[in-house]
Chains A and B, each alone.
Chain A
Amino acid sequence: GAVVSQHPSRVICKSGTSVKIECRSLDFQATTMFWYRQFPKQSLMLMATSNEGSKATYEQGVEKDKFLINHASLTLSTLTVTSAHPEDSSFYICSASSEGSTEAFFGQGTRLTVV
């Protein structure tokens, strides 16, 4: 399968700061990328969908001004958690798919802890 690389795998930040998470497709062009969030002992929930070169579409209840998504190229999408609070502590994971593909491939995930 195709390879999606997510960085960093773990990050600890202070409350009020911003954190950027990168998601890269290494061997294909990702026309669409998805960002999910997983709270402890819960399942993954879709946060937003981003298409290269256009604004992201956010799911209901996800604040677009707090979770900034940029998908400026066909191989890179970034999620920036702005003014992080302890309740933003979670596991964030991206997936990417190419045009015409029937499958999306997942990154390794980022464990964010806000202290």
Chain B
Amino acid sequence: KQEVTQIPAALSVPEGENLVLNCSFTDSAIYNLQWFRQDPGKGLTSLLLIQSSQREQTSGRLNASLDKSSGRSTLYIAASQPGDSATYLCAVGGGRRALTFGSGTRLQVQP
């Protein structure tokens, strides 16, 4: 059974810092890996999707990498802003496209 772990559980940084969120998964036979953002009491916003054959994806200040063999992914956020404050969820997809989610990293960017 796939298990997804995210470290750290919570992170507080001053505005402008670059930061890295970590995600690990136990079963490397994944279809894809996706990073989401969730604001309090809200739904999910998809940030980046990495297919199993890819190693990274970039969107603006965000960069996500995938190392399937070691079961790891990182989400890099450059020049963090207070508006980046949210919970970031990592999820891995199996062949049937259902996702297994990590427990998330709660990020607080201080102005």
| A contact residues around B31 at 8 Å (CB) | 102
User: B98 near A46 (CB under 8 angstroms)?
Assistant: yes
Mostly helix, strand, loop or mixed at chain B's interface? strand
Q: Mark A13-32, 1 if CB is under 8 A from B, else 0.
A: 00000000000000000001
Contacts known (A1-B46, A103-B49); A46 close to B100, Cβ less than 8 A: yes
Mostly helix, strand, loop or mixed at chain A's interface? strand
Which of B37-45, B65-73, B74-82 contacts its partner?
A: B37-45
| A contact residues around B44 at 8 Å (CB) | 44, 93, 106, 109
Q: How many positions in chain B have a CB within 8 Å of any CB in the partner chain? A: 22
- The tally of CB-CB contacts under 8 A between chains A and B is 54
Q: Mark A78-96, 1 if CB is under 8 A from B, else 0.
A: 0000000000000001010
User: B51 near A43 (CB under 8 angstroms)?
Assistant: no
Instruction: Give the interface size class of chain A.
Output: 20 to 34
Nearest neighbor of A110 in chain B, beta-carbon distance: B43
- Other A-B contacts than A104-B98, A104-B99, A109-B42, 14 sampled, CB-CB below 8 A, are A1-B46, A32-B96, A34-B97, A34-B98, A36-B101, A43-B89, A49-B96, A49-B98, A95-B99, A104-B93, A106-B44, A107-B43, A108-B43, A109-B43
| Sample (8) of A-B pairs whose CB atoms are under 8 Å apart | A6-B43, A32-B97, A43-B101, A101-B97, A102-B97, A103-B32, A104-B97, A108-B42
